[in-house]
Structure 1
Amino acid sequence: MPPLHLVSTPIGHPDDFTLRGLATLRRCPIVIVEERKESTAWLRQQGIAGKQIEILNEHSTPQDLDRLMKICREHEVSLITDAGTPGFCDPGAELVRRCRTQAIPVRVYPGASSLMSLLSLSGEPLEEFYFRGFLPAKSEDRRAAWMKMQKSHMPIILMDTPYRLRKFLGECGEFIPSRRILLALNLTQDDELVIEALGRELAAKVHFRKAEFICLVYQS
C-alpha cells in the first residue's frame, strides 16, 4: 500500500525547506493542502506544478475524510500544512490517525518548527513543559483555559491565531501579569521579533497588530 507522506513546510523563510521534502512533493502525484490558492502558489515557487490538489481543513466533513482515505489507499500522497509540520495542531491529525489505524504507512519529513525554535531560544534546560497550544476562540472557554494556567507552575507553551495577537497580549497582562514570558513573533522572517518580559509588560513592547506567534510562559 502506498504511504502517506507528512512533508513539513517553512514557517516563514522560504529557504527553510529540506531537499528530501522537495523531492517527495515532486514525486507524489497528489498533494493534500489546507488552502488551495496559498498552497498552489507556494508549490509553484518550488517549481512544482501539475499536481492533483485535495483540500483538508477545519471545514472538512467526515465524508471529505472518507474520500481522502480512499485516495490514500490507492495513491502515493503528500500532506502539507500552511506552515510547519502537518498533523500537529492542524486538521491533518485525523487523516494521520485514520491511516495508521487502517495500516496505511505514514512517513514524516521534518522541517522548520516554531515549537523547537522557541525552546532553543529560551536558553532554559526544560525537561518538561505543558503544551497548551492554540487557545479557544469562545470567550468563556478562553477564560477557563487562562484560569487553569494560572494554577500551573510548569512552563507553558501557548499559541493563537495572528489576528488575536493584541487580545492575547492583553490577557497575559490580566491573567499572568507577574509570570516571565518569552514571545516569538514572525519567526525566521525579516521582521522576526523575540521579546522576554513579564506578562503585564508585553503589550507595550509589541508593535505588531497581527503576527504569527508562539510563547513560552516560564516556570513560576
Structure 2
Amino acid sequence: MLTLVATPIGRLDEITLRGIEALKNADVIICESTKETSKLLKHLEIKAKNYEVLDEHSTPDDLKVLAELCATSNVCLVSDCGTPAFCDPGNNLIALCRKQNVTVASALGASSLMGLLSLSSERLRRFQFIGFLAAENVAREKEWQTVKKIKDPFVLMDTPYRLKKLMEECRTHLVDRKILLALNLSQENETILEGSPKNVLANLKFDKAEFMILVYSA
C-alpha cells in the first residue's frame, strides 16, 4: 500500500494526526530528501525508517522498484514540504501503482495551493492552475502570450530564485489585473501582498522566497 502524507510547509507541528500515524506505521518512506524527512521524523519522535528517494533524477527502473515495494510493504510518500505528488515526480509512481492494482491512499494536510486560495479576498468559483512556466526565455515568453489572455483566476508558481523575474513578468503582462502574492507560507516571515503587480513588486522585500501567485479574474 502507498499512502501520500502531506508534510508541514513551514512549522513542523503543522501535520495531521493521521499523517503522524501513517509515518509511524510505515515500513518504508519514499522522499525527495532524506535530510528533510529525517528532520521531520526526529521532531515527531518517530524512529528512523528505511528511506528511498524519488526525485527528478529517478529513472523508470527506479519507479518500478518503488512500485514493487508499495505492493509488498506499507509505504509512505512525502515531499520536502506540503502535499506530495503535486508538481513533482510522485504522480508517475501513483500511475504505476494503480496499473499494478496497488492501493493508493492520501493522508491530507498542508497544501500551499489551498493556503493561497484561502487567503483570497474574492470568492473564487473556479480557477486554473498554471504552475511553472518554461524556464527557457523564448518558450517562456510564448507561454506568457497565452497565459495573459486567461480571464478566469489562475495560479502561478516558480522556484524561489525566480521570484523577482516572475513578478517583473507579471508587471509587464498583467498590467490591469490584481494579484495575490503569498511568500513563505506557514513560516515566521510569512508575507502576503495584494494589489496590482506594479504595487506588489514595489513592496516586495524578498529577493528569494518560496511563493505562489493568484491572479484574479479579468
The answer, yes or no, to whether TM exceeds 0.5 is yes
- Using the TM superposition, give the Cα deviation of residue 38 of structure 1 relative to its aligned residue in structure 2, in angstroms: 2.0
| CA displacement 1:149-187 (0-9 Å, x = unmatched) | 111111011111111111111111111122110111011
Q: Tell me which moved more, 40-49 or 12-21.
A: 40-49
SS of equivalent residue, structure 1 residue 104: coil
Take 1:92 and 1:74, find their aligned partners in 2: how far apart are those partners? 18
2:46 counterpart letter in structure 1 = I
Identity of aligned residues (%): 46
Q: How does 1:64-213 map to 2 (within 5 A)?
A: 64-213=62-211
* Structure 2 portions without partners, runs of 5+: none
Number of residues of Structure 1 aligned to a counterpart in Structure 2: 218
Take 1:134 and 1:109, find their aligned partners in 2: how far apart are those partners? 25
Take 2:27 and 2:93, find their aligned partners in 1: how far apart are those partners? 18
Residue matched to 1:12? 10
| CA displacement 1:112-170 (0-9 Å, x = unmatched) | 11111111110322111111012222212221221111111110111111111111111
Maintained 8 Å contact 1:173/1:202: no
Residue matched to 2:47? 49
Q: Tell me which moved more, 89-98 or 139-148.
A: 139-148
- Using the TM superposition, give the Cα deviation of residue 22 of structure 1 relative to its aligned residue in structure 2, in angstroms: 0.4
Maintained 8 Å contact 2:132/2:156: yes
1:191 counterpart letter in structure 2 = N
Maintained 8 Å contact 1:5/1:106: yes
Take 2:118 and 2:70, find their aligned partners in 1: how far apart are those partners? 35
Task: Give the counterpart of 1:34 among 32, 35, 54.
Answer: 32
Could you list the runs of 4 or more consecutive aligned residues of structure 1 that deviate by over 2 angstroms after TM superposition?
A: none
Take 2:100 and 2:145, find their aligned partners in 1: how far apart are those partners? 39
- Using the TM superposition, give the Cα deviation of residue 50 of structure 1 relative to its aligned residue in structure 2, in angstroms: 2.6
- Using the TM superposition, give the Cα deviation of residue 100 of structure 1 relative to its aligned residue in structure 2, in angstroms: 1.4
Maintained 8 Å contact 1:176/1:200: no
Question: Pairwise CA RMSD of aligned residues?
Answer: 1.1
SS of equivalent residue, structure 1 residue 132: strand
TM-score normalised per structure 1: 0.95
- Using the TM superposition, give the Cα deviation of residue 35 of structure 1 relative to its aligned residue in structure 2, in angstroms: 1.2
SS of equivalent residue, structure 1 residue 122: coil
Take 1:141 and 1:178, find their aligned partners in 2: how far apart are those partners? 24
- Using the TM superposition, give the Cα deviation of residue 79 of structure 1 relative to its aligned residue in structure 2, in angstroms: 0.3
